[in-house]
A = this chain, B = another copy of it.
Amino acid sequence: MHIEIENLLQKIKSFVETELYPLETTENLTGNFSQIEPILLRLREKVKEVGLWGLALPLDMGGKGLSLMQFGKVSEILAKSPFGHFTFNSQAPDIGNMELLHKYASKEIKDKYLNPLAKGEIRSCFSMTEPEFAGSNPTRMGTTAIKDGDNYIINGHKWFTSSADGATFAVVMAVTDADAAPHNRASQILVPLDNPGYEFVRNIPIMGHAGDSWASHAEVRYNNVVVPRSNLIGKEGEGFLLAQERLGPGRIHHCMRFIGIAERSFELMCEYATKRELAEGKYLADMQSIQHFIAESRVEIDAARLLVLDTADKIDQFGSKAARNQISGIKFYTANMMLRVIDRAIQTHGGLGMTNDVVLSFWYAHERAARIYDGADEVHKSSLAKSILKEYRK
């Protein structure tokens, strides 16, 4: 099995380096996603041809049936290109929605939505965050789903509904019972986006870019959106429970993506340092400050990777609940590490590092969000500490 995985990783690495690195042109790094999307869709066919499709899918859906730890290693490699996850149909939020539907959706919904999603024929989004409420307290939420006969009527205002632009459906978090205990108030409901009550407000400009298609973060409104009650995912009131469950694996996906980005930034830094001449025969690589950037980055990346893989392994073996503290800890640790490494790589590149002639500034701008989404650093740290301190308070 070990050799098999190593071979698989090697094949993916080779694909990413050969097919995707050359796509990192200045144009592709500054243009909207829709510009490069057709190329990536064609590459998906190639992925299928070489037998690398379905890396994130379970065996029963024609996937590889990788453990979380194994897929973590895959994810690191995919993340070394900004186009990796999409090309392999392993991109958020679709990957999370596939897991969700696979576990909790009815046969009908699976047929209608999960299968085309797994084939890469449609895209989806996850609609949770609201502009009016602080993300650090997810139980405060204004969106409601009121039962009306066999239907839900959904009303609400969401943003950071990533990839809504062009998506076929959203999984919407909405309050179904305002009087329940905070964690039992909300449910997850599948909403097809061709619904007349669905209002796409805008793709929110982030770091100067509204973006489009998969690479965008939408503000949307649900205005009396009517969906059948059979579109409920899981049970009523289980919204947070399912979100929680999504969290463990989702956190591993994110963190391994951060590590892949850090690793690639590291490689670019080393390459440039040995290439850039400062004076006759003297290179950036000879500067102690650059050497220290490199040494610190090397160790920090390795330590973070071991920590995330160890967490994945714990989840694989004992489940998300048992690994709860580690899952809290890896996110802020790995996100900050990644941002430090990107920053050092940019500094090493000097003016070039600011440009889109290399991929670094793309990540600098877009990955700053890593310390915010899916729980801000400050929230994770407090939550981890509280969990630790509970033992000591006894």
Residues of B with C-beta under 8 A to A137: 278-279
CB distance from A2 to the nearest CB of B (A): 14
- Which of A137, A160, A292, A371 is the most central at the interface, judged by chain B CB atoms within 10 Å of its CB? A292
* A3 CB-CB contact with B under 8 Å: no
How far apart sit A376 and B279, CA to CA, in the bound complex (Å)? 16
Bitwise, A108-130 to B at CB < 8 A (1) or not (0) is 00000000000000000000010
Is A355 an interface position by the 8 A CB rule?
A: yes
Specify the chain B residue showing the minimal Cβ separation from A210.
B30
Q: Which residues of the other chain, B, contact A35 by a CB distance below 8 angstroms?
A: none
A389 close to chain B: CB less than 8 A: yes
Closest B residue by C-beta to A140: B279
For residue A299, which residues in chain B have a CB less than 8 angstroms away from its CB?
307, 329-330, 332-333, 384
- Select which of B26, B287, B372 is within 8 A of A354 by beta carbon: B372
B136 with A274: CB separation less than 8 A: no
- The 3 tightest CB contacts between A and B, nearest first, are A291-B385, A288-B288, A295-B381
Interface CB pairs A-B, < 8 A, 28:
A26-B205, A30-B208, A134-B276, A134-B277, A134-B350, A206-B354, A207-B354, A207-B356, A208-B209, A271-B392, A274-B392, A274-B393, A285-B393, A287-B378, A288-B289, A288-B382, A290-B378, A290-B385, A291-B385, A295-B329, A295-B332, A299-B333, A302-B329, A303-B306, A347-B371, A347-B377, A354-B368, A354-B372
Residues of A within 8 A of B (CB): 26, 29-30, 129, 131, 134-137, 140, 159-160, 204-210, 270-271, 273-274, 276-279, 284-285, 287-292, 294-296, 298-300, 302-304, 306-307, 310, 325-326, 328-330, 332-333, 346-347, 350-357, 361-362, 364-365, 368-369, 371-373, 376-378, 380-382, 384-386, 388-389, 391-393
